[in-house]
Amino acid sequence: MKWKYMLCGSLAAASVSVYAADPNDDIKRQAIAAGTFEEVMPDNNLHRRTNANAGNLTQARFNQIIDQVIAIYNPVVRAHGANLTFIRSWNNETVNAQAYQVGNNWYVEMFGGLARAPEVTEDGFALVACHEMGHHLAGFPFYSGGNTWAASEGQSDYFASQSCASELWRNADNSSYATRIPTIPKNACDANWPDQLDRELCYRVALAGKSLADLLAAGNRTTVSFATKDNNRVAQTIEGHPGAQCRLDTYVNGGLCNVAFDLYTIPGIDAPLGRNSLYAEQAAAFYSCESVTKILRSGVINNAPRPRCWYKPQLTDGTTNAQ
């Protein structure tokens, strides 16, 4: 069983509801039995740290952030013929989050232990929520086997910073992030985004990604840095959790990517020969910054592909091995 990010919340809309957090809930048991239960992080004991609840995220902000994500994605999920349910487990100390599907009901659960972790900023928490929506909506590459509904971990990360974070923050005042962003990601954002408003959004996404990557690194007793890249090159796409540095690289590249993601399209979901086929990859290339997108779209894109520390493309234009 794999760990993945998840959301919970409620709105007045009929398709969003709140369930009490209950590990023995029949719905969860159905999801586990069907092999469609996902968790964001590997099993961890981060809730046992002496500073486990040292974060600054309040329950009010926990709920507000969730509500913002619901407002964006409830109509999207309904357009796919499904119902979106968020489960708010503020009192649960688990440092994790979950996503699962049972038929046409799509669930996300967020735990208070994750929100209160010292590494997790408000924006980092929002990016977790975005990652969970990514499992439902990000598309290729998917998990294989029993969980073919779910986008892989790396793809959910890329979606979180490329698409979902933009939906959340593009109309906000992001100017303060210009004084907080370190030089290396700032220079990358400035090089890839000519407009100052886009640059400021890019700064915010990078900092949110650092918050989340710091938490992932704490679980593995490692560290991450904007100055370091994971230069590993996988021989086959990793469906599960990449290393913390690889995930930070993914968040940064998603924020740098200037190719628009269509909210109402799940790339590759109906592709001939399967959801991880060449046809699925080709469909997904229209919505990412892969080099092959230049061929398929004949457009100008920046150099912000899915990092090769977790993603191995099948299609190539001769340059897709670049970081």
Q: Note whether residue 243 is domain-resident.
A: yes
| Over residues 123-147, mean pLDDT | 93
| Over residues 75-90, mean pLDDT | 96
| Whole-number average pLDDT of the chain | 85
User: What confidence score (pLDDT) does residue 20 get?
Assistant: 43
d(CA 153, CA 150): 9
pLDDT category at 57 given cuts 50, 70, 90 is very high
pTM over 0.85: yes
pLDDT category at 36 given cuts 50, 70, 90 is low
How many domains in the chain? 1
State pLDDT tens for residues 288-312. 998 766 655 655 566 799 999 999 9
Q: Note whether residue 251 is domain-resident.
A: yes
| Domain assignment of residue 32, given as a range | 26-297
3-state secondary structure the chain: CECCCCCCCCCCCCCCCCCCCCCCCHHHHHHHHCCCEEECCCCCCHHHCCCCCCCCCCHHHHHHHHHHHHHHHHHHHHHCCCEEEEEEECCCCCCCEEEEEECCEEEEEEEHHHHCCCCCCHHHHHHHHHHHHHHHHCCCCECCHHHCCCECHHHHHHHHHHHHHHHHHCCCCCHHHHHCCCHHHHHHHHHHCCCHHHHHHHHHHHHHHHHHHHHHHHHHCCCCCCCCCCCCCCCCCCCCCCCHHHHHHHHHHHHHCCCCCCCCCCCCCCCCCCCCCHHHHHHHHCCCCCCCHHHHHCCCCCCCCCCCCCCCCCCCCCCCCCC
User: 25 versus 99: which is more confidently predicted?
Assistant: 99
Q: Closest by alpha carbon to 168, among 193, 211, 135, 201?
A: 201
Which amino acid makes up residue 2?
Answer: K
pLDDT category at 7 given cuts 50, 70, 90 is very low
Q: Note whether residue 105 is domain-resident.
A: yes
| Over residues 153-161, mean pLDDT | 97
pLDDT category at 11 given cuts 50, 70, 90 is very low
pLDDT category at 18 given cuts 50, 70, 90 is very low
| Over residues 90-94, mean pLDDT | 92
User: What confidence score (pLDDT) does residue 15 get?
Assistant: 33
pLDDT category at 105 given cuts 50, 70, 90 is very high
With a cut of 50, say whether residue 12 has pLDDT above it. no
Q: Note whether residue 249 is domain-resident.
A: yes
Q: Note whether residue 19 is domain-resident.
A: no
User: What confidence score (pLDDT) does residue 151 get?
Assistant: 95
User: What confidence score (pLDDT) does residue 319 get?
Assistant: 45
Q: Note whether residue 283 is domain-resident.
A: yes
Q: Spell out the residues 6+ positions from residue 173 whose beta carbon is closer than 8 angstroms to its own.
A: none
Q: Note whether residue 1 is domain-resident.
A: no
d(CA 257, CA 161): 9
Which amino acid makes up residue 212?
Answer: L
Q: Note whether residue 17 is domain-resident.
A: no
**Weakest mean pLDDT among 10-14, 227-231, 274-278, 301-305:** 10-14
With a cut of 60, say whether residue 19 has pLDDT above it. no
